[in-house]
């Protein structure tokens, strides 16, 4: 079998007009006699809207029920796309997580896939159909629906591509590849041809919204190249694969404004671990503890630490990512003068093998990112 896996993001399937473009793209692949499996996200902002509606009912919604609610977005996209493909004369079938055999653990809201039973997908492909699978969701051992974490459709696609032994996995969105910075914020951002799994997964972890971090880790494990490209153009995208050459090159500069800096006056490490609250940089001082979390877990944190005094501030972290960066001391020398005006707002600078991160104590203007980008990306 010559299987290709194509994943389409939320804006690609946002409305009927875009679905039309997606369907034509799929048909192009099908015409090249490929067995085509598509993975889709929910339409536009549907997942955000469903979460907001749930939060009007409960500030920290029951996680099982939230999964039962938000997984429906993907089902709407998958069925609409299948309706359209059938209308265009191509046999297609939509499958949701459990129909596609996607088995996960019990961690609602952030479930991990541990097995995919491919029988159904293979049978449908064998009968000549295009298979459209809902991203982002699976089923646990009790038959309950789980979701894989925000942006998790990418991980669904890579997991399915790996078990089906596809040659590569295309991830289509409204951007035509991976850029050195968010092209919506930095107009001089440059598209890159290739980025290593390591660099990409660090970028995703640091807040680049292009790909789900776990999808990149999974692709690395199976040595599956990912091609990130645009639904709306035929331009070459960016390949995410193993390192090809060891070049000291900066691949990505990220400003993450979703970092909450938390201060508490007692050790809460066990509580964070017990409640699966992901944190970064846990700093222990004599009578204070500091750590960072992402904005979307703030309400959960406050609920978990309900009898403890918790101070939070919304902050920015800027990260510069590339192989060999820690050996290149000139990078910091170059960027420090560009952030002279906010020098006093730096809380910490973290230099590690693949990245330099600067944590600030407030949200900083994006003009600094622009300056840093101008200095480092020539």
Q: Enumerate residues 6+ apart whose C-beta is below 8 A from 245.
A: none
Residue nearest to Mg ion (CB): 151
Q: Which two tokens stand for residue 99?
A: 């129909």
Min dist CB 202 to ligand ASP, Å, is 20
Task: Specify the stretch interacting with ligand ASP by CB under 6 A; choose among 150-158, 281-289, 336-344, 365-373.
Answer: 150-158
Tell me: does residue 271 bind ligand ASP (CB under 6 A).
no
If 0-12 CB within 10 Å is exposed, 13-18 middle and 19+ buried, where does residue 262 land?
A: buried
Q: Enumerate residues 6+ apart whose C-beta is below 8 A from 6.
A: 25, 26, 29, 36, 37, 38, 39, 157, 170, 172
**Cβ distance 187 to 259 under 8 Å?**
no
Residue 220: enclosing H or E segment and its boundaries?
Answer: helix 213-221
125 phi and psi, to 5 degrees?
-65, -40
Q: Which of 107, 112, 120, 150 touches ligand ASP by CB under 6 A?
A: 150
- Select 90 or 136, whichever has its Cβ closest to ligand ASP: 136
Q: Is 257 helix (H, G, I), strand (E, B) or coil?
A: strand
Min dist CB 110 to Mg ion, Å, is 15
- Nearest to 1, CA basis, from 121, 163, 166: 166
Min dist CB 151 to Mg ion, Å, is 4
Task: Give DSSP secondary structure letters for 109-172.
Answer: TS--EEEE--HHHHHHHHTTPEEEEESSEEE-TTS-EEE--TTTHHHHHHHHHHHTT-S-EEEE
150 binding partner (options Mg ion, ligand ASP, none; Cβ < 5 to 8 Å by kind): ligand ASP
Q: Which of 12, 41, 94, 252 touches ligand ASP by CB under 6 A?
A: 41
Number of amino acids touching Mg ion (CB under 5 A): 2
Give the separation between CA 368 and CA 1, rounded to whole angstroms.
Answer: 50
Q: Which of residues 91-120 bind Mg ion (CB under 5 A)?
A: none
Min dist CB 171 to Mg ion, Å, is 8
Tell me: does residue 47 bind ligand ASP (CB under 6 A).
yes
Tell me: does residue 229 bind Mg ion (CB under 5 A).
no
Residue nearest to ligand ASP (CB): 153
Tell me: does residue 151 bind Mg ion (CB under 5 A).
yes
Q: Which of 146, 153, 173, 231 touches ligand ASP by CB under 6 A?
A: 153
Tell me: does residue 180 bind ligand ASP (CB under 6 A).
no
- Select 42 or 339, whichever has its Cβ closest to ligand ASP: 42
Q: Is 178 helix (H, G, I), strand (E, B) or coil?
A: coil
**Cβ distance 153 to 135 under 8 Å?**
yes
- Select 136 or 354, whichever has its Cβ closest to Mg ion: 136
Q: Which of residues 63-102 bind ligand ASP (CB under 6 A)?
A: 73
Tell me: does residue 42 bind ligand ASP (CB under 6 A).
yes
Give the separation between CA 255 and CA 259, rounded to whole angstroms.
Answer: 10
- Select 129 or 138, whichever has its Cβ closest to Mg ion: 138
Min dist CB 73 to ligand ASP, Å, is 5
- Nearest to 23, CA basis, from 35, 11, 5, 38: 38
Q: Is 364 helix (H, G, I), strand (E, B) or coil?
A: coil
Residues that bind ligand ASP (CB under 6 A): 10, 41-42, 47, 73, 135-136, 150-153
Residues that bind Mg ion (CB under 5 A): 9, 151
């Amino acid at each position: 079998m010559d299987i290709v896996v194509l994943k389409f993001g939320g804006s690609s399937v946002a409305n009927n007009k875009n679905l039309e473009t997606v369907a034509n793209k799929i048909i192009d692949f099908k015409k090249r006699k490929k067995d085509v499996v598509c993975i889709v996200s929910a339409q536009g902002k549907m997942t955000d809207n469903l979460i907001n509606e749930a939060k009007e009912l409960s500030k920290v919604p029951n996680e099982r029920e939230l999964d039962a609610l938000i997984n429906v977005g993907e089902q709407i996209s998958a069925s609409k796309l299948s309706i359209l493909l059938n209308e265009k004369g191509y046999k297609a079938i939509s499958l949701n997580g459990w129909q596609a055999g996607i088995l996960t653990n019990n961690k609602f809201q952030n479930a991990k896939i541990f097995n995919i039973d491919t029988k159904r997908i293979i049978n449908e492909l064998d009968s000549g159909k295009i298979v459209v699978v809902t991203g982002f969701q699976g089923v646990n051992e009790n038959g309950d629906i789980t979701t894989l974490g925000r942006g998790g459709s990418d991980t669904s696609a890579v997991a399915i591509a790996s078990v089906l032994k596809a040659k590569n996995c295309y991830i289509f969105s409204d951007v035509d590849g991976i850029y050195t910075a968010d092209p919506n914020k930095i107009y001089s951002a440059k598209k890159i041809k290739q980025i290593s799994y390591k660099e990409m997964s660090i970028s995703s972890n640091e807040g680049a919204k292009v790909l789900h971090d776990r999808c990149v880790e999974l692709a690395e494990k199976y040595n599956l190249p990912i091609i990130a490209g645009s639904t709306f153009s035929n331009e070459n995208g960016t390949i995410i694969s193993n390192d090809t050459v060891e070049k000291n090159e900066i691949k990505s500069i990220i400003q993450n404004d979703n970092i909450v800096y938390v201060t508490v006056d007692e050790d809460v490490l066990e509580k964070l671990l017990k409640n699966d609250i992901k944190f970064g940089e846990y700093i222990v001082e004599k009578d204070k503890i500091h750590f960072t979390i992402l904005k979307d877990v703030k309400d959960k944190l406050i609920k978990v630490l309900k009898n403890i005094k918790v101070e939070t501030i919304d902050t920015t972290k800027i990260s510069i990512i590339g192989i060999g960066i820690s050996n290149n001391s000139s990078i910091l020398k170059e960027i420090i003068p560009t952030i002279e005006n906010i020098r006093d707002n730096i809380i910490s600078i973290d230099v590690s093998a693949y990245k330099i991160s600067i944590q600030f104590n407030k949200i900083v203007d994006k003009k600094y990112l622009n300056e840093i980008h101008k200095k480092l990306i020539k």
